Each structure stands twice: as structure tokens, then as C-alpha cells.
Chains A and B, each alone.
Chain A
Amino acid sequence: MLQAINLHKKYKSKEVVRHINMRLATGESVGLLGPNGAGKSTTISMLSSLIMPTSGEVIWDEQSINKNPEALRKVLGVVPQEIALYPELSAKENLHFFGRIYGLKGKLLAKRTEEVLQKIGLTDRQNDIVKTFSGGMKRRLNIGAALLHKPSILIMDEPTVGIDPQSRAYILDTVKQLVEEGMTLLYTSHYMEEVELLCDKIYIMDQGEIIAYGTKEALKSLVSDNQTIELQAHLLSSEFEEVLQNKFPTATIRKVEQTLSISLPKNEEPLATIFALAASNDITITSAVIKIPSLEDVFLHLTGRALRD
């Protein structure tokens, strides 16, 4: 288990992060969500032993990495936010270089390079120079370079920044596959949908502090225990509104023009009933949208600001 205990980091008089307590159990996929400048990168730099905390400790395998970072580094793969590659070398040369740095040699190096190229989908372009790659391909190779030594923990810092939707989808699929294969993941992003897709547990950071932590459901329940269904239908009438209210006495129902907004507890599953009632009242529903709180709403609820502000 990788654990951060009360981490603080100060640069001169500025405290960049404070009171960071995190746990990353084996096989878990944990998200670290927060806006730019929240302190995510500093936190993962401390967790990965790149920088020392001003106070607090990072514990790996019951040992403080402040004193012995080597044990963690052997099993850790870090995908930095920057494209940490040599642009003048080919994809294969880059992987060979980083593989050698991790002590891989000869056949093992060739095998791992081949496996990684396959995983990141760059086998066909392995001999091309990196500077000729698209942003998405560079990002994929950036991930590949962190996988060569078969790490058991992967820390990814905003791995999809500035790339096209297709490459993003490919990267997310790859990461999902790694998680399914048992990789322990710490995924940092300000894209809530990525964190939501990949991670079981989420830490939300703002202004250098963790402001919330829990499963997706637990975090969303901070905002509300209700779900909202928005119905659009022809010939909506006040009679239908009354029928719905009688059927769902705990619901709050509002009508704005041709849209009916029904707010009711999350544990109810009302869609089938609503459609049946509409049919029996000769009302044709043209659209039905179930709105449940997103992590964006959670962040807004906690800070009063949108996540990407």
C-alpha cells in the first residue's frame, strides 16, 4: 500500500500543498481531481519520490520513502504531464533508451519494447522519429515509456491533455485495460469524466488541500440524494401532473413550457411507471433525461466554482 501521511510542501513562504492524507491499496484505481494549480502535480511528485515533502511522510511497503525511495521506484511507473521523450529519436529508440535506464538488456529489452509498442498501438510507427508524431501518438509513447519495467503502480499526471478525442479514447481504453489487469493506478486529471470512468475512489483537491474523498457515489451524495427526470412531451396537461404527483407523493414536480421536471429520491426507478401513465393519458413523451449529480456538481457544491474555471 502507498500511503501519504499529512504531507506539506512549502516553496519559500508559499505553502503549495498541505494536510495531504491518501491511501492507495494494491489493485485500486484512485483518481485525483482538481483544477489547474490545485497542487495535484506537487502531490504526485512527492508520492513518487521526485521531491521531498517539507513535512509528512510517504510510506511504501511499511517504509518511509524519504529515507529509501529505491524500493518504491522499482515498482513505480510515472507518466508525466509533459512529453518526456527525445524528439529526435524514433519510438523504438526512445523505449530502448528508457528500458536500458531501468536495467533491461538484450532479448528482454527487445521483448518488452515489442510488448509495450503493441499495447500503445505504435508497432507500425516504431521506427519513425517522435517529432513527426501527432500529439496523441506522443502521449501514447509517453505512457509506454513508463510501462517498460512492468511497474505495479502507475501514476499518471494529466495524460490526455491537448489531444484529439480519438487518441483520448485510445488512451482511456489502454489505461482501463491496465487497471483490469491489476495495475494500481493513481490518475490525475481535471477531466472529471476520465476520473469517473477509470477510478473507484476519488480525491478532490483545491488550493493545495484535499477537500473531499470517497467513492463516486459517496461524493455525489454530498450534493443531493435525489435524481431529476426531465420529460418533454406533446399535450402536457395539469391533469397528468396531478397523476404523477399522486403516484410519486415524495416527488417535486415543476412544469416549464413543454418540459416537466420531476425530482425524486435516487433509489426509486420511475421511468417505466411514468411511460405507462403517459400512455394511459394519451400523452406522447418525446424525450426523457435522467439527471444525476456529476463530479462537476460535487466540485461546484464544495467550492462554489466550476472545476475548469
Chain B
Amino acid sequence: MKGIWLARLQNLKRKPLVLISMTVMTVIFAYVLSGGVGSSLTLLVATDDSDMSNRVLEILEKEDGYTITVLTEAELQKVMKDKRDKTGLLLREKTFSVLADTESDIVRMLSLEIETIYNELAFQDQVIALGGESKWDEVEKGLVEAQSFQVNKSSMDESQVFRYDGALQSLFGFMLYFVFYTISINVQFILEDKRSGVWNRLKLASISRFQLYFGHLSFSYVIGLIQMLLVILVFRFLIGTNMYEGFWKVVIICSFYVLLVLAFSLFVISLVKTVSQSSVIISLLAVAFAMIGGAYWPLEIVQSEGLLAMKWISPVFYGMEALKRVTIYGETLGGVITYISMMILLATLLIVIGITLLEKRTERYHSSE
């Protein structure tokens, strides 16, 4: 196994481009598409001065991620007419309008968030109207208790309130997406060694099959994890991304995600004959999995039931959800145990199937002389 690691390290020394480019691309894409970490959405807000609109504004001002400028309705209308790149928000007693030139993800998510605030405040008002402030305190306390109970019992329930952090969405999304390539390219060495005859040479030198697979897979695992750690460290300590005190939880979840992607890559190479076939399949699947797994956009804004149903087959989904929950939603590792368990279960299953198929294929190499 040590020998395999040495050969792979020498190879990495000669061809470090994959690891470097995937890491750099993750950082660049995540940074650029999040609009620069630390920056927030500049929002021009006007209210009708009603109690409800002022309370909504108050909540928004307390939220991270928004730089709010309060204008009158007339001023807002004028600015929005002149400067089409701005995002405006008109808050009224019972309704609101998001003013933007294009129907972007940001607009959709902003709408979702404002709607949630309106609903929560309306519910609060109704409770107070029926039972007074003391009743609301009671209900609020009950809700908090019910929520903690719900989190423990059904952590994959997505009925919780939608929260969005653009910086983390981009960071996690691109990190999970690009590491797919790094790991699969590394796992492809198994296929390459089998095709080139190096694998047989090693077997003849009495290296066991376990040592061969373990050597290759452990190296690929470490490389994948290093890439993710580099990205996380850059964002956390150089760029200063807020990880909601979930840094170590992020690292732990990444370690399970790398395992799942490793297993998936192994499964893919067990189905194909050549490295180029594997590369094509991985490229297609990585993009597809990123899309249906919520790497490019939050799944909360996806309308298609079909697309949402497919998320369960995407490794990205498990990683993305678990990462968002331990950061944005502030959950514990216990709260995302279902996602972690799924990643371990799928990884185990895919590794067993992958190795079995690869061994059968090795027999076929000999028969196709």
C-alpha cells in the first residue's frame, strides 16, 4: 500500500494540475457567484408606514445578508426606474412587492423570505388577538419545544422555515461539485492500472487485492478531502465567510461526502471499459447531480415535483443539505444523522458493488486476449 501511495504521490507531483485547478476553480466560482463573501444584498425598501410593514422592515434590518436603504415610495419608484440593476421592496399592510428588472434566484428567494415573515407576523397577531400577549409567549415557547422535538425525530423533513445564505450556497455548491471531478479522476487510476497491466504486476508481487484497492481508494479519499479542506480554510480564514460556528461540523460532513463520491466514482469505473468512457459519464453525472442536488440553487425554489423527486439519487443532495443544516440552520451533527447515515450506507453499497463488478471485469480482460 505504501508503494501505491508513493507512485501516486510521484504522479501527483508530475501532474498536480487537476488538484490545483479544481481547488482554484471552486474558490473562484464560489467567490464570484456569491457576489463576494461578506457583501450583502443592497435592498431599497419603502413602507406604507403601517404597523405590519414597519415590523417586517425591523426584522429585515436585523437579518444578516441585507444592506437596507429606506426610501419613500415615490423615491423608490424613481430609483427603480433610473437604475435597473437595483432590487427594491415595497412593504404594505397586507401585501408586498419585490421590484427588480429580472426574475432571478435572488428575487425568488427574497419573495419567499418576505412571505414567510408576513405569515409569521400574521400568525402572531392572530394568537395575540385571541389570547393576549401571554398566550403568544406560551405558543412561542411551545413552538420552540415542538421544533426541537421535530428536529430530533425527523431531521430530513424540509418543512422548516427556509433560510438562505448566498455565500454558503455558492461555497458548498461549487465545493461539492468540483470535488466530484478530483475524486473521480483519482479513482480512475484503478481502471488505468488494470488496463495497463500494472495491476497484474502488483498482484504477481504478492500485493493483495485488499491492499491494491485500499491503497488507491485511500489516496483518492485523502486528495478529495484535502481539496475540500483547502477551500473551506480559504473561505473561513482568508475570506472570512460566516459558517455559523459550524466549521468542524462542515469538515466532518465533508469527510462523509468524499467517501460517498469515492464510492460513486468506483461504481462508475466498474461499469465502463476505458478511462475516457468514465470521464464522459462522470462529467455528465456531476453536472446532473449538482443540478438536482441543489448545488447551483436552493431546492426550496424548485417547482418541478419530478426534479425534486430525483434529488434522492444525487450524492450532492445529501452533502448539501447536511452542510446547510449544520451551518445556516444551526443544527448539530445529531440533527443531520439521517443524511450522514445515508451517505455511509450508499457509499458502502456502491463500494461493494463496484469492487465486485471490477473483479468480474478483470476476469473478462483475460478472456478477451
Contacts and interface: CB of A to CB of B under 8 A. Distances in A.
Interface of A: 9, 11, 14, 16, 36-37, 39-42, 45, 48-51, 69-70, 73-74, 76, 78, 80-86, 88-89, 93, 97-98, 100-102, 129, 145-146, 149
Contacts of A86: 7, 10-11, 198
B201 A98 contact: yes
Interface residues of B, number: 24
A97 B7 contact: yes
A288 B200 CA distance: 50
Given A41-B369, A50-B203, 20 more contacts: A11-B363, A36-B369, A41-B366, A48-B204, A49-B204, A51-B363, A76-B204, A85-B198, A88-B10, A89-B7, A89-B10, A89-B14, A97-B7, A98-B201, A98-B205, A100-B3, A100-B6, A101-B202, A101-B207, A149-B205
B304 interface: no
Contacts of B364: 11
Nearest to A97: B7
Contacts of A36: 369
Contact of B200 (A39, A50, A93): A50
Contacts of A149: 205
A127 to B, nearest CB: 13
Interface in B189-221: 195-198, 200-207
B6 A83 contact: no
Given A84-B197, A89-B10, A97-B7, A16 B367 contact: yes
Given A50-B200, A86-B7, A98-B205, A129 B369 contact: no
A102 B205 contact: yes
B196 A84 contact: yes
A69 B363 CA distance: 18
Contact of B204 (A40, A78, A89): A78
Nearest to A142: B197
A100 B5 CA distance: 12
21 contacts: A37-B369, A39-B369, A42-B369, A48-B204, A50-B204, A50-B366, A73-B205, A74-B206, A76-B204, A84-B197, A84-B198, A86-B10, A88-B10, A89-B14, A93-B10, A97-B7, A101-B3, A101-B207, A102-B205, A129-B14, A145-B201
Nearest to B13: A88
B3 A84 contact: no
A50 B198 CA distance: 12
The 3 closest A-B pairs by CB, nearest first: A84-B197, A41-B369, A82-B197
Nearest to A37: B369
B15 interface: yes
A132 to B, nearest CB: 12
Nearest to A98: B201
Contacts of A51: 363, 366
A40 B369 CA distance: 8
Contacts of A39: 369
Contact of B6 (A49, A69, A70, A97): A97
A83 B200 CA distance: 12
Interface in B227-259: none
Nearest to B7: A97
B196 A101 contact: no
A156 B343 CA distance: 45
Interface string B1-30: 001001100110011000000000000000
B7 A84 contact: no
A102 B3 CA distance: 10
A42 B366 contact: yes
Given A11-B367, A39-B369, A82-B195, A88 B206 contact: no
A45 B366 contact: yes
Contacts of A73: 204-206
Contacts of A145: 201
A74 B6 CA distance: 22
Nearest to B8: A86
